[in-house]
Chains A and B, each alone.
Chain A
Amino acid sequence: MTTTELVSPTQGSGERGAGTAVEVSNLTKVYLHGPTAVDAINFEVRVGEIFGLLGPNGAGKTTTIKMITTLTPPTSGSIKVFGVDAAREPQKVRQMLGFVPQAISVDGDLTGYENLLIFAKLFFVDREERNTRIRAALDLFGLEDRADDLVKHYSGGMMRRLEIAQALVNRPRLLFLDEPSIGLDPYSRKQVIDHIRQLNKEFGTTILVTTHDMAEADELCDRLAIMNLGKIAVSGAPRDLKRSVGGDILTVGISGSIPDALPGELGSVVSAETGTLKILAVDGERAIPRITDFLERNGVVVESVSLSRPTLEDVFMKYTRTSLQQEGSFRDARSARRSIARHGR
């Protein structure tokens, strides 16, 4: 994988120092009887931005978050959260951050109000301020009618919103969201995304979000890093990353054998499956006739051609040479739904 060393075009723009919320250097985690989950990664999250950590299941995203939230110690490397060393002062670091784990983690046996109250107390939110903030958060997230119901009777989307409402009460400087929209229906998902954005805009909360949903990351993140096999393949702003793909994506429906190679000036093959060829080509509209012509001369029957602008999915494919493991994401969604069901017992 030679492309792993590629540096994002936006890095080194001189915003380091006071503007850094998280600074991760050479972070590595090797599990005792397992593989290297995180392999010497470096990245920084700037104050006030929504930063995405993307990658397929097993890429090391959750492990990375667990290390930054001081839930598990790194094997080597260092983490600084607003300048505080996570290994030296874990409690001080935890005071500054909020964490929404992948599995729904609200307490089903308490009411919505109580969930917020208990965690406000655990974050030492001022007694005077506590109630006002809780009521405001419940109101803002549309949960005030259900505030005194046990959370196990909530829907999955409401549980997630309650978790994000916790962040509104505790006002962390940095909020971690591990796959926040997984297992939610499209409507709840949109609500959750909107609330995340709102937190970022209105309170200036720095947000670090992990997801395997490329479209969601594109929509939400100011900057992101794509992880694969414990390494960061590439990082940067979504727009720059997509531009770095270097052209448009042509999806060609074919029948017959797949050609061995494509002349360099026509474009490069991103993926080839039976019946479908994905080609990356500069100036896609003009490339269509030339590519069709080439393929037909080589005995391939072209049935359809469609053109699309690069997506983060294509960025991922370009830098990792693999496609996202779809079955992995299905498994995640299933386990998230199970976790919702468990809470709603």
Chain B
Amino acid sequence: MSGIQRSVSSAFTIAEMEARKIRHDSTELWMRTVQPALWLLIFGEVFNAIRGLSPGGFSYMQYIAPGVLAQSVLFVAIFYGINIVWERDVGLLTKLLSTPSSRTSVVVGKALAAGVRGIFMGIMLFALALVIGVNLRFDPLDVAGVFLVVVLFAMCFSCLSMTLASFLKTRDRMMGIGQVITMPLFFASSAIYPISIMPGWLQVISKYNPLTYVVDAIRSMLLTGDYSGIPADTLVLLGTTVFFVFCASTMLKRLIE
């Protein structure tokens, strides 16, 4: 096997490890679906009643479904660093890093593992949308595209989280920083309201928020069918992901020194 083949194989093995763990015990992920369900069922339902909010001619429920999906993946990803800190505490990370895998393939593997969790959240949200009758475009290609974006997005923010974990090193601090990051990202994006109704300063911030691009990509696939923004969205997401993969790969060793 060549070096690249080996790296890819290692990364997928580490992702497989996560998938097997989820198969044994998915309690945590089930609990994580409660929050997006509440956003959709309560927040969405209530604001749906305000007829004034129907961006682009869609019902508010339709409008926020992609936003809630992105938010739930964001939560899974941003707290992924806690797993890494846990694995460091129990010695698993040391073990992983003593295998022939490169640092990058360990990080990419862990990021893919976060992606696996993201896919779980996606399936749950689609199921919920079907049950409560939110009308989305369930075209197979669109759904596949959404899953791709979800995986990439989970990779992006789990790598940010792993980078932070390399500096913060404890689970408590990771919980704290996760809270600090998620809500501002969420509110400064088009997840629950259109950017056009934001105050000017927030509109500027939203331009630099990766979540905006993710929500835009998912929304165009699930709702509008207008793919014109997708290349730019994907490019921004891809660039950010590569950057954070690099950061996490370089910093990860701090955790075991």
What are 22 A-B residue pairs whose CB atoms fall within 8 Å in the complex?
Answer: A69-B98, A91-B101, A91-B102, A94-B98, A99-B95, A101-B95, A103-B91, A103-B94, A108-B90, A109-B21, A109-B25, A111-B24, A114-B17, A118-B17, A121-B9, A121-B10, A122-B100, A124-B9, A339-B90, A339-B91, A342-B89, A343-B90
Residues of chain A lying within 8 A (CB to CB) of residue B21: 107, 109-110
B123 at the interface (CB under 8 A from A): no
Q: How many A-B residue pairs have CB under 8 A?
A: 82
Is A342 touching B90 in the complex (CB atoms < 8 A)?
A: yes
Quote the shortest CB–CB distance from B165 to chain A (angstroms).
Answer: 17
B139 at the interface (CB under 8 A from A): no
CA distance A122 to B1 in the complex (A): 13
Majority secondary structure of chain B interface residues (helix, strand, loop or mixed): helix
Is A124 touching B90 in the complex (CB atoms < 8 A)?
A: no
CA distance A121 to B98 in the complex (A): 14
Among A231-245, those with CB < 8 Å from B are none
In the complex formed, the residue of B with least CB distance to A119 is B99
Is B90 touching A150 in the complex (CB atoms < 8 A)?
A: no
A104 at the interface (CB under 8 A from B): yes
Residues of chain A lying within 8 A (CB to CB) of residue B98: 69-71, 94, 97, 99, 101
4 cross-chain pairs, A with B, having the tightest CB-CB distances, nearest first: A103-B91, A105-B91, A95-B100, A99-B98
A123 at the interface (CB under 8 A from B): yes
Residues of chain A lying within 8 A (CB to CB) of residue B25: 109
Scoring B13, B21, B91, B253 by chain A CB atoms within 10 A of each residue's CB, the highest score goes to B91
CA distance A119 to B92 in the complex (A): 11
Quote the shortest CB–CB distance from B92 to chain A (angstroms).
Answer: 5
Q: Which of A91, A104, A121, A122 contacts B90 (CB 8 A)?
A: A104
In the complex formed, the residue of A with least CB distance to B94 is A101
Quote the shortest CB–CB distance from B239 to chain A (angstroms).
Answer: 27
Among B83-111, those with CB < 8 Å from A are 89-92, 94-102
CA distance A109 to B20 in the complex (A): 9
CA distance A255 to B63 in the complex (A): 89
Q: Which of A101, A105, A110, A124 contacts B6 (CB 8 A)?
A: A124
CA distance A163 to B33 in the complex (A): 35
Quote the shortest CB–CB distance from A339 to chain B (angstroms).
Answer: 6
Chain B interface size band reads 20 to 34
CA distance A70 to B253 in the complex (A): 11
Residues of chain A lying within 8 A (CB to CB) of residue B20: 110, 114, 118
A102 at the interface (CB under 8 A from B): yes
- In addition to A103-B94, A150-B24, 20 A-B residue pairs with Cβ atoms within 8 Å of each other are A69-B98, A70-B98, A71-B94, A72-B257, A91-B101, A94-B98, A97-B98, A102-B91, A104-B90, A105-B94, A108-B90, A110-B17, A111-B24, A119-B95, A121-B13, A121-B16, A122-B14, A122-B96, A339-B90, A342-B89
Is A72 touching B100 in the complex (CB atoms < 8 A)?
A: no
Is A110 touching B99 in the complex (CB atoms < 8 A)?
A: no
Scoring B20, B99, B101, B253 by chain A CB atoms within 10 A of each residue's CB, the highest score goes to B99
Is B13 touching A72 in the complex (CB atoms < 8 A)?
A: no
B256 at the interface (CB under 8 A from A): yes
Quote the shortest CB–CB distance from A93 to chain B (angstroms).
Answer: 9
CA distance A95 to B97 in the complex (A): 11
Residues of chain A lying within 8 A (CB to CB) of residue B96: 122
